[in-house]
Structure 1
């Protein structure tokens, strides 16, 4: 195990093929300040090109996951409105973080160890799998508190995962959604006792790291294609992907492992 390497606002730890990124502004519950976003973007870019990584875990240090934007640090340069400056930061830093998480060449597991508020919800949902501690919760304060819309992909995720009624209720009312309810509604994969979250996360990460290297990219692409196609078009897509993937060595290994009654080694 490689020990955590702290920067000012981000920690990186390696456990074999698993990379663990921890948001590291624990005293403030890990707000997405501009410096943190810069560090996170740089770290993700580096990890994306590291062929030794097979799974990424994104979590928070301390008792919170991420409380969203750093409102106390929002300041525009002279001669530019705060809105224009924020839009620029989102286009050059915030949105690329989300896009990178959804294009990493390996599975991304978000482990929500505490409150996830505002843009922190978007960060949590950008993983391929999201697990949370029982004490964690999700809350959208954008419209009821600030008069703005949810961002970092939240409006895209919530309607698809929860449906319009629940997505609107969550965004308009700003009520906390417990981790247990989030699991029940299908917003996240699992909810576990706080004391078990770290162990549970690493166990899931180990399973993800053992998958074929193309697993995350192929499955993201398949679901993205399905969201825009009718059934006959998706059936045709699936047939083509099977045609291509069955000729890869991973399929041969999977068949051999099945016949030999052992776990596949990808």
Structure 2
């Protein structure tokens, strides 16, 4: 996958920041649909959620776990231990956030908000829920760019760029997922857009943190890659899949998930 030479010469942390801004930008683009549409057909929405889940699952393996296993093979521990430890910690981290951060899943009444009791408005609770998605996505982008300094093919710059592109694509419906329900409740278009893009502001920050952590502590790379993978799988299984099927469009969302998985797998194998 050809990468502009100017981008290749940048420090990994700056590359991660640019990639994080790109993924945030596509979230904002999805939220901007609120200026043109009042609502999105539920079947289309569920298909997009399923597609997002498939992209994240494929990226979790080909862009994160597989490189983590390859790097671990050169270490002193059995090669399965660092990926297993990192993966478990990533899932545990998201579970802890899920418990302590008030949030509301898309399409549910505010009475079914999760986490500690709060007086937050519905919009903030929706942003909080999508932000839970974006933390592991930002970390995944960051550790991938940080891992490019390791010089391994599977963690090279092209693979990191491809991961950022894949996450950016699946961020598009996430911005829409926040903005559109609020618009349906009569919130102004500008406020809907603001809340929609706000959910991804954490991604550039998480990307920089992930890249910096790997650059300054290279031995933690396999743990960091698999940590991001575990966190992403947790989000897909705990939130994206149930939400995509909550309206009864089970077959559609399942086929869409497989389509997203196929697209990301094919891109990573062919171009990564």
- Alignment TM-score, normalising by the size of structure 2: 0.25
Q: Which has the higher contact order (CA 8 A, sep 6+)?
A: 2
Return the structure number with greater strand share: 1
| Larger gyration radius, structure 1 or structure 2 | 1
- Alignment TM-score, normalising by the size of structure 1: 0.25
Return the structure number with greater helix share: 2
